[in-house]
Amino acid sequence: MKRILSLLACGVTSLTAVGAAADTTTPDRVFGHWVMHCIEMSNSMKACALHQRLHSEKTKAPVASFAIADDEKGAAHRLTAIMPLGIDIPAGVTGALAGRPALAYQIQTCLPRGCIASVGLTAEDLAALEAARDFTTSFRMRGVADPVTVTVSLKGVTEGLKALAAE
């Protein structure tokens, strides 16, 4: 988890304080709507993640950020999201991907710039991500009955996951 948080810190500028553990970064690579960012960790390991930031169409302000990274052994992938402050934590955060069971994110913590939620991805989830055009994530804001649903483009995710596996 520390590795994923470090990747989010480098890839999503709203969490720069967490990125202090990184020694160096490599240039970002763009795959469609996804950006791969890698950092050299102080323990001589390289950590990489694909990330995408969503902005409000009206205000252009960041709404949410998403990152896909593998674990330290490269065996499993996690989808991590930074959601806005003020989400209804008991209502949770869910994801929808065509033809797959709902993804139930676990909310880890909330920081001054947003709440961090993540979910493990199976091989079937990854295959569905590669085959789909987009996926949605839904959450509710405290005191608001209607959920907020954001759509995340998957343009370039197949190429990005291949590059991620090669790192």
Contacts for 70 with CB less than 8 Å, ≥ 6 apart: 76, 77, 78, 164, 165
pTM: 0.82
pLDDT category of residue 7 using cuts at 50, 70 and 90? very low
Average pLDDT over the chain reads 83
Euclidean distance between CA atoms 81 and 4, whole angstroms: 11
CATH of the domain at 143: 2.60.40.1880
pLDDT category of residue 3 using cuts at 50, 70 and 90? very low
Q: What is the mean pLDDT of residues 66-88?
A: 87
pLDDT for res 24: 62
Euclidean distance between CA atoms 10 and 8, whole angstroms: 5
For residues 36 and 48, the answer to whether their CB atoms sit within 8 Å is: yes
Q: Which domain holds residue 14?
A: 2-166
Residue scoring higher pLDDT (6 or 67): 67
Tokens of residue 44, six digits: 């001589």
pLDDT for res 132: 94
Around Cβ 76, how many Cβ atoms within 10 Å?
13
Q: Number of folded domains in the chain?
A: 1
If you search the block for the tokens 């509710």, which residue do you land on? Answer: 140
Residue scoring higher pLDDT (6 or 143): 143
pLDDT for res 99: 79
Residue type, 163: A
Q: What is the mean pLDDT of residues 137-161?
A: 94
Euclidean distance between CA atoms 107 and 58, whole angstroms: 27
pLDDT for res 71: 72
pLDDT for res 19: 37
For the CA atoms of the chain, what is the radius of gyration?
Answer: 15
Q: Assess whether pLDDT exceeds 50 at residue 21.
A: no
* Stated length of the chain: 167
Cα–chain center distance at 103: 13
Residue scoring higher pLDDT (41 or 77): 77
Residue scoring higher pLDDT (23 or 6): 23
